[in-house]
Amino acid sequence: MSHPDSIANLPTDRAADGTRFFWVDHSARDKTVLLSQTDFARPSLQDDANLLKSARQRFIYRCVGPDGSKVVKLFPLNLLSSLHPRKYALTEFEKTRAARALGLPVPDTYAYIEQRKWGRTTCVGAVFEDLNGYRELSKLLRRQRFTVAECGQIAAQALTELYAAGANHLDGRDANIMVHPDTRAMSIIDWQYAEFVAPRADWLLEHLAGFYLQRSPQHSDAYLDAGWLRDLHTRSSHPISYDTFSKRVLTLSSRKRPLSERAKLLPVAD
């Protein structure tokens, strides 16, 4: 079976059930992850104590070994699974690596996973750095660990870094900005939809900010009242005036647009 160039030449291992691991490099190999797998396509066999999140076509768990812990994100597949879930793991694996190469704050990426039975793929996945101790920015605000102003500063920094790198995350919301509440270290997750824009479009930041506000409806007014947009405009050294910038962002935040439309990065009429 042929594989994309991005994984075809990576060092590989096979688990006892035949699941194949494509490691980023030899130093990333983790025997604990290999030995912990009994059947990737059956999440019920995993240790519930380390199950972080589960859904119909995705589950995420923490694998703990003598050298620390890693997060494994898996997509069990069946004959009815659409093409999108089949691509999610490889796409997130590749795009997270691309974002890290650009210097963006993202989890380290260790391996792509593929399980095949009787000639068909039954599960795909990826192994990432465990952001143990980090919390979603949205939860830190909701639970009043951080103030609106503090969360706004972290969000503005995240969007500024995406903009500077030309990364259109496409799902850049407060739930995908992970923050350590003690150190304030930040990491941006869930890169499967991202697009990298070269050369960077100036209006990329407007789209990032508009979507961020739209997906934080319970906090959007509080962010605006705290001067979030002006802080974002200043941090990014955006080339257009603040009045025009803010008008465009608010226009975008009022529109609910599908993923395909958000990826186009069309300028907003003044």
Does 148 map to a domain? yes
pLDDT for residue 227? 95
Q: For residues 143 and 54, give the distance between their C-alpha atoms in angstroms, rounded to a whole number.
A: 23
- Under 8 Å between Cβ of 162 and 109: no
3-state SS of 188-246 is ECCCCCCEECCCCCCCHHHHHHHHHHHCCCCCHHHHHHCCHHHHHHHHHCCCCCHHHHH
pLDDT in tens, 110-169: 999 998 888 788 889 999 999 999 999 999 998 888 999 999 999 999 999 999 999 999
Whole-number Cα distances in Å, 205 to 143, 235, 254: 28, 11, 16
- pTM more than 0.85: yes
Does 216 map to a domain? yes
CATH, residue 212: 1.10.510.10
Q: Which two tokens stand for residue 184?
A: 């304030």
Greatest alpha-carbon pair distance for the chain in Å reads: 60
Does 226 map to a domain? yes
* Number of domains the chain contains: 2
Given a cut of 60, is residue 186 above it in pLDDT? yes
Does 104 map to a domain? yes
Same domain, 215 and 121: no
Mean pLDDT, residues 94-98: 96
Same domain, 143 and 245: yes
CATH, residue 11: 3.30.200
Last residue of a domain, one of 110, 129, 148: 129
Q: Domain range for residue 101?
A: 5-129
Same domain, 99 and 145: no
Angle between helices 148-165 and 204-214 (to 10 degrees): 150
What is the rounded average pLDDT for all residues in the chain? 89
Does 20 map to a domain? yes
Does 31 map to a domain? yes
Last residue of a domain, one of 72, 97, 129: 129
Does 213 map to a domain? yes
Q: For residues 157 and 129, give the distance between their C-alpha atoms in angstroms, rounded to a whole number.
A: 22
Does 76 map to a domain? yes
Same domain, 140 and 258: yes
Given a cut of 80, is residue 263 above it in pLDDT? yes
Residue entry with tokens 């003044």: 270
Catalogue the E-assigned strands of 108-147.
109-117, 120-129, 135-136
Query: Quick one: pLDDT band at residue 53, thresholds 50, 70, 90?
Result: confident
Same domain, 193 and 248: yes
